């Protein structure tokens, strides 16, 4: 026949779905660069150590007479050190390579954990957290190492899988810390220090060097690229700030409106961590191949903002569940997409430094977000931190929606 019959709507939808699944399967089957899983396991083990410490740090500081405000400062000190040292370590990794910076940072994490465990006074506890925070600034270096390995079209998938490593750490770490605490309040910090020490030795032996230090590129970047990087860093700040407020005040919100106990709140965060890991590990690769990182960033932002609006108004469980699912899926696709866009916009010779500035901006948001959310909770209302967070998130959405923003 010289003419072809027109496809029905159902056939068109089926064909589109088959094409999407074919692309997703191709993306999943495409082998990852050699050395990726070594970096992944290094980050995952590092996050396990971090996850051991965070849930028990407040109660531990209370043993040394810390007030609630001092406990808040103790958490903020980690982020402040991370904010200062992220660009420094990123720039250093651009010059000497990723591996030595990651190894030294792991050693610093071990030292900080041992100092915290052996603390006999509150000021020693602060010293341990500052050292740990400065060492934790190496997260951007690990992200740089991953982006060094793969082609630009693979970066979103690899960064999504790296995000899954963070989720694994936050799931396994608290459980391991709870078991270690049975041996005494100091034991979890010693366990975290031992894990970091083992991780440092393993990194010396197995971690590949991904940075081509001899690469020479013009220092002057293209103006559109510079504008993109500035915009992406601002997007990161206004995205992390409300999420940090959510992390700080959700336990208060849950206890007030849903009678959640400490154990049930921990269970909620466990489910959130597992769902986040699943989204970043399984969906980012095929979705990026189909729609692109910029479209995923914008979609994720809208989902998070909607989720926060629902969360602020939630008084029944179905609304709470919908709100959390929207937030987790949105953050799960937006976060690695944003990091991919930053990495792709940065000159290769400055990628570590640029990703370090992004992490520094995120750390600043984690310093500002919790007290801002706490003030909103105390003086406006129980759901105010999340309603305010949705409003702040709109700033990130506006920046990401600018036509001048280039992929």
For residues 266 and 368, give the distance between their C-alpha atoms in angstroms, rounded to a whole number.
23
- Would you tell me how many other CB atoms lie within 10 Å of the CB of residue 322? 15
* Portion of the chain with pLDDT greater than 70, in percent: 86
Quote the pTM value: 0.76
For residues 41 and 177, give the distance between their C-alpha atoms in angstroms, rounded to a whole number.
19
CA angle 296, 298, 299 (to 5 degrees): 65
Which stretch of 38-42, 126-130, 399-403 has the lowest confidence by average pLDDT?
Answer: 399-403
For residues 200 and 229, give the distance between their C-alpha atoms in angstroms, rounded to a whole number.
32
Taking residues 365-373, report their average pLDDT: 86
Taking residues 259-272, report their average pLDDT: 77
pLDDT at residue number 224: 42
Banded model confidence at residue 302, pLDDT cuts 50, 70, 90: very high
For residues 246 and 118, give the distance between their C-alpha atoms in angstroms, rounded to a whole number.
32
- Residue-averaged pLDDT of the chain: 82
* Burial bucket for residue 324 (CB in 10 Å: 0-12, 13-18, 19+): buried
Which sign does the torsion angle of CA 89, 142, 291, 246 carry? negative
For residues 108 and 180, give the distance between their C-alpha atoms in angstroms, rounded to a whole number.
21
Given a cut of 60, is residue 22 above it in pLDDT?
no
pLDDT at residue number 403: 53
pLDDT at residue number 19: 42
Banded model confidence at residue 225, pLDDT cuts 50, 70, 90: low
* Portion of the chain with pLDDT greater than 90, in percent: 28
For residues 289 and 272, give the distance between their C-alpha atoms in angstroms, rounded to a whole number.
25
**CATH-assigned architecture of domain 32-209:** Up-down Bundle (1.20)
pLDDT at residue number 76: 82
Given a cut of 50, is residue 97 above it in pLDDT?
yes
**Domain boundary assignment for the chain:** 32-209, 221-407
Given a cut of 60, is residue 239 above it in pLDDT?
yes
Answer for the pair 386, 315: CB distance below 8 angstroms, yes or no.
Answer: no
- In CATH, which superfamily holds the domain spanning 221-407? MFS general substrate transporter like domains (1.20.1250.20)
Answer for the pair 335, 166: CB distance below 8 angstroms, yes or no.
Answer: no
Given a cut of 70, is residue 329 above it in pLDDT?
yes
> From its phi and psi, is residue 240 left (phi > 0), alpha (psi between -120 and 50) or beta?
alpha
32-209 and 221-407: same fold?
A: yes
For 338, residues 6+ apart whose C-beta sits below 8 A from its C-beta are 232, 235, 236, 239, 293, 297
CA angle 213, 216, 222 (to 5 degrees): 120
pLDDT at residue number 21: 45
For residues 309 and 306, give the distance between their C-alpha atoms in angstroms, rounded to a whole number.
5
For 168, residues 6+ apart whose C-beta sits below 8 A from its C-beta are 44, 47, 48, 277
Which stretch of 29-38, 39-48, 130-139 has the lowest confidence by average pLDDT?
Answer: 29-38
pLDDT at residue number 64: 86
For 180, residues 6+ apart whose C-beta sits below 8 A from its C-beta are 52, 187, 188, 190, 191
Question: Which of the residue ranges 22-26, 217-221, 224-228 has the most confident prediction, judged by mean pLDDT?
Answer: 224-228
pLDDT at residue number 347: 81
């Amino acid at each position: 026949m010289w003419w072809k019959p027109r496809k029905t709507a159902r056939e068109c939808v089926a064909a589109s779905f088959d094409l999407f699944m074919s692309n997703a399967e191709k993306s999943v089957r495409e082998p990852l660069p050699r050395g990726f899983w070594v970096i992944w396991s290094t980050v995952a083990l590092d996050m396990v150590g971090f996850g051991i410490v965070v849930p028990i740090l407040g109660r531990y500081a209370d043993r040394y007479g810390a007030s609630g405000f001092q406990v808040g400062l103790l958490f903020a000190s980690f982020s402040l050190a991370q904010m200062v040292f992220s660009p420094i370590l990123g720039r250093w990794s651009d010059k000497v390579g990723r591996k030595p910076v990651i190894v030294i940072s792991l050693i610093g994490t071990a030292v900080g954990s041992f100092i915290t465990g052996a603390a006999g006074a509150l000021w020693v506890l602060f010293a341990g957290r500052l050292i740990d925070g400065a060492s934790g600034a190496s997260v951007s270096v690990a992200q740089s190492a991953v982006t060094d390995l793969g082609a630009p079209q693979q970066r979103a998938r690899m960064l999504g899988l790296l995000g899954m490593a963070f989720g694994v750490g936050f799931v396994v770490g608290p459980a391991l810390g709870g078991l270690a605490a049975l041996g005494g309040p100091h034991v979890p910090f010693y366990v975290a220090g031992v894990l970091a020490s083992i991780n440092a030795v393993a990194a010396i032996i197995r971690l590949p060097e991904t940075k081509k230090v001899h690469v020479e590129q013009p220092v002057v970047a293209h103006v559109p690229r510079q504008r993109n990087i500035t915009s992406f860093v601002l997007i990161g700040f206004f995205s992390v700030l409300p999420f940090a407020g959510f992390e700080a005040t959700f336990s208060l919100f849950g206890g007030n409106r849903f009678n959640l106990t400490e154990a049930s709140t921990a269970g909620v965060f466990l489910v959130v961590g597992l769902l986040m890991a699943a989204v970043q590990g399984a969906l980012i690769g095929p979705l990026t191949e189909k729609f692109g990182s910029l479209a995923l960033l914008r979609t994720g932002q809208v989902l998070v903002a909607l989720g926060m609006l629902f969360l602020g108004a939630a008084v029944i469980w179905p609304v709470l569940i919908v709100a959390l699912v929207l937030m987790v899926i949105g953050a799960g696709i937006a976060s690695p997409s944003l990091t991919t866009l930053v990495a792709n916009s940065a000159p290769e010779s400055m990628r570590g430094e640029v990703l370090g500035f992004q992490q520094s901006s995120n750390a600043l948001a984690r310093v500002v977000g919790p007290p801002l959310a706490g003030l909103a909770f105390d003086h406006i209302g129980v759901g105010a931190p999340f309603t305010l967070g949705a409003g702040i998130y709109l700033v990130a959405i506006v920046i990401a929606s600018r036509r001048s923003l280039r992929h």
